[in-house]
Amino acid sequence: MVSSERENTPLECRKIMDIPPCIIRSMRRLALIIISMIIAWETCVLCVYGEESGDTLNLTSPSAILMESSTGQIIYEKNSNERVAPASITKIMTLLLIFDALQSGSIKLDEDVTVSEHAASMGGSQVYLEPGEIQTVETMIKCIAVASANDACVSMAEHIAGTEEAFVAKMNERATGLGMDNTHFVNCCGLDADGHMSSARDVAVMSRELITRYPQIHQYSTVWMDTITHTTRKGTSEFGLTNTNKLIKQYQWATGLKTGSTSKAGRCLSATAVKDNIELIAVVMTAPDSKSRFADAVSLLNYGFSSCFSYSDEEDITIPDQEVTGGVKGTVRCKAKDSFHYMFLEKPDTAKIERRLDMNGQIQAPVEEGDVVGRIIYSYDSKDIGSVDITACESVKKATFADALGICFNRFFT
């Protein structure tokens, strides 16, 4: 006698067959819902963290960012707000304060700087300045930008602020003003110290401030090899400088900016480059080795140059004179404060770029030259992408009673 299908079915399966069909259908639906939720979650994670984790570029460095310099637009980032030790990338802020001092006139390039005992005692990367040795400000900048000299850094800090501690306070103040929320400096050269921290995003921010406000930094950051002269009690000797940023020789569009390396920070780099009028800043932090940091920076820069399209409105825009109430004259001449720049991440159809005037409303005297009286708003495909301030080209004083009588008199007879 042939056994029935149920009798030949294993015990476990027979138990399942005893479950009512309606419950089985419900269990199947529940399983499908759970599977769908798992797939949706994985997809969401990939969408949200795919670029953040660096999967698209396969970067070795655990923290990185790519920024366009003229707009500050972020093109790519990976753990960019993670607080890490910045090593000698710290010197970007030191250089920024040096150029601030040059701009204000408080120091000059040909001014002498005397090296202190404290500055000469700095370890790590140095140019072996001796106590009492004198170098010019420009030579010190070269030592910092090219050779990453800690002794030159501290010498300049003391020269500008009196002490390194006072200079570091200025560094932190400047960082706060730039919105570098993940940064706190303890020294001016980047030696490992408790609490001395920054992030890839903050490094990009201060790098942008330095290269856009003081583009002359590239005169130093692009130097591959040079020499300085030591003049001390021992006599005169030449000392060679070699740029720590190998991209200056290896990447044809490189313009700087600063390397960093300590046992705590790993290998760091803020790399700047210009190609086809596009300037990019690539920052990599805590790379496992020097080769990786340069390779990651090149990957970032190549990605940026291949995916960025720069738009600039170079047209000379005529702004109509705006009416002024209560002034010695009834109108004020106006102009666009700056030209408009925008970075597209895909090639734009420039015919879809439009602009419109957005004035602040009635202008009340007095008006000072440079006052913002409106904006030129730019849109692409009906979506706003940025604006440029409209400012007064001249000052208009508030009319006194005598001025008002004079205006009425002139109007009556003319």
Instruction: Work out the pLDDT band at 374, boundaries 50, 70, 90.
Output: very high
Q: Are 265 and 84 in contact (CB under 8 A)?
A: yes
Which structure tokens are listed for 383?
Answer: 């979506």
Instruction: Work out the pLDDT band at 19, boundaries 50, 70, 90.
Output: low
CB atoms < 10 A from the CB of 207, how many?
27
pLDDT of residue 54 exceeding 60, the answer is no
Sign of the four-CA dihedral 294, 298, 300, 304:
positive
pLDDT digits (tens, 9 = 90+) for 73-91: 899 999 999 999 999 999 9
d(CA 34, CA 102): 64
Which structure tokens are listed for 238?
Answer: 């030449």
Q: Please report, for residues 4, 41, 42, 43, 47, the alpha-carbon distance to residue 38 in angstroms, rounded to integers and kept in the order given.
A: 40, 5, 6, 9, 14
pLDDT of residue 273 exceeding 90, the answer is yes
Element (H, E) at 83: none
| Residue 381, phi then psi, degrees to nearest 5 | 55, 40
Q: Are 190 and 91 in contact (CB under 8 A)?
A: yes
Q: Are 389 and 335 in contact (CB under 8 A)?
A: no
Per DSSP, what are the bridge partners of residue 376? 357, 388
d(CA 400, CA 406): 10
How many helical (H) and strand (E) elements, i.e. helices and strands, does the chain have?
A: 12, 18
Write down all domains in the chain, each with its CATH number in brackets: 63-307 (3.40.710.10), 322-413 (2.60.410.10)
d(CA 156, CA 283): 25
Angle between helices 150-161 and 91-104 (to 10 degrees): 40
d(CA 145, CA 138): 10
Which structure tokens are listed for 296?
Answer: 């990651």
Percentage of the chain exceeding pLDDT 90: 73
d(CA 366, CA 146): 50
Indicate which residues carry an active-site annotation.
Answer: 88, 91, 148
| Least confident interval from 73-77, 281-285, 324-328, 407-411 | 407-411
Sign of the four-CA dihedral 125, 127, 128, 133:
negative
pLDDT digits (tens, 9 = 90+) for 81-125: 999 999 999 999 999 999 999 999 999 999 999 999 999 999 899
Q: Are 305 and 280 in contact (CB under 8 A)?
A: yes
Q: Please report, for residues 51, 214, 308, 346, 354, the alpha-carbon distance to residue 207 in angstroms, rounded to integers and kept in the order given.
A: 22, 10, 19, 25, 32
Element (H, E) at 169: helix 164-177
Instruction: Work out the pLDDT band at 345, boundaries 50, 70, 90.
Output: confident
